[in-house]
């Protein structure tokens, strides 16, 4: 290859962006943004200064189903324009979504089986599920239903409420039995 050939992956010190925030071998957490027409992964990351996802090389097989997943990145020759995907970040929620079988929902045809990770927010301190109409958590004969009108329905064959501190029930009116 010629030195001025645009396909030349070698970077000279004159063209290498400075990385004041990175030390050699430092891993950066990024996001898999998609796959381009050539089947190459596109990634974005906090120190990406280009304003668009970059083509990356990878140590593992990636496809469209990995879009939105967090990835561990290193940079070839220390150049932030040459990301290398070293692996996927393990996410228990993402694993659950990937193992989800829509045929399990056949007895609930009104349920939307299209999952979008954008509707679930995880920041390490809390987990937020968002839905336009209703969220249902169900296991066997027990369920918790959250409706958009503010109604919360808690059902089960036996419900326990325990507190080591104050257990307070508040409402405009309270009906027992």
Please tell me the distance from the alpha carbon of residue 41 to that of residue 66, in angstroms, as a whole number: 9
* Stretch among 75-84, 86-95, 155-164 having the lowest mean pLDDT: 86-95
Tell whether the model's pLDDT for residue 1 goes beyond 50. Answer: no
Tell whether the model's pLDDT for residue 11 goes beyond 90. Answer: no
Q: Best-predicted range by mean pLDDT among 63-72, 88-97, 107-116? A: 63-72
Helix (H) or strand (E) holding 173, with range, is none
DSSP per position, 78-91: G-TTSEEEEEEPP-
Backbone angles phi, psi at 97, to 5 degrees: -65, -35
State the pLDDT at residue 78: 84
Q: Is the CB of residue 43 less than 8 Å from the CB of residue 52? A: no
Q: What ranges do the domains of the chain cover?
A: 1-90, 92-155
Nearest to 8 by CA among 72, 74, 79: 79
Q: Best-predicted range by mean pLDDT among 2-6, 10-14, 56-60, 119-123? A: 56-60
Q: Which CATH architecture has domain 1-90?
A: Beta Barrel (2.40)
Q: How would you class 8 by CB atoms within 10 Å of its CB: exposed for 0-12, middle for 13-18, buried for 19 or more?
A: exposed
State the pLDDT at residue 45: 93
DSSP per position, 31-72: EEEEE-TTS-EEEE-TT--SSS-EE-EESS---GGGTT-EEE
Please tell me the distance from the alpha carbon of residue 126 to that of residue 105, in angstroms, as a whole number: 27
Nearest to 41 by CA among 10, 72, 12, 20: 72
Backbone angles phi, psi at 66, to 5 degrees: -85, -5
Tell whether the model's pLDDT for residue 24 goes beyond 70. Answer: yes
Largest CA distance in the chain: 84
Tell whether the model's pLDDT for residue 12 goes beyond 50. Answer: no
Mean pLDDT for all residues in the chain? 78
The tokens describing 146, both together, are 């959250």
Tell me what the mean pLDDT of segment 73-82 comes to. 90
Cut 0.85: pTM above it: no
Categorize the per-residue pLDDT at 169 as very low, low, confident or very high, splitting at 50, 70 and 90. confident
């Amino acid at each position: 290859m010629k030195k001025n050939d645009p396909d030349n992956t070698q970077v000279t010190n004159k063209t290498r962006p400075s990385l004041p925030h990175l030390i050699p071998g430092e891993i950066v957490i990024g996001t898999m943004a998609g796959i381009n027409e050539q089947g190459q992964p596109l990634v974005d990351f906090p120190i990406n200064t280009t304003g668009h996802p970059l083509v990356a090389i990878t140590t593992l097989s990636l496809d469209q189903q990995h879009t939105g997943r967090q990835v561990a990145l290193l940079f070839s020759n220390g150049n932030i324009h040459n990301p290398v995907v070293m692996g996927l970040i393990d996410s228990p929620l993402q694993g659950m979504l990937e193992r989800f079988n829509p045929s399990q929902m056949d007895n609930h045809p009104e349920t939307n089986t299209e999952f979008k990770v954008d509707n679930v927010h995880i920041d390490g301190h809390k987990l937020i599920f968002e839905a336009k109409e209703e969220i249902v958590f169900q296991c066997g004969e027990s369920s918790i239903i959250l409706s958009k009108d503010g109604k919360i329905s808690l059902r089960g064959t036996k419900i326990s409420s325990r507190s080591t501190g104050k257990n307070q029930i508040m409402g405009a009116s309270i009906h027992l039995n």
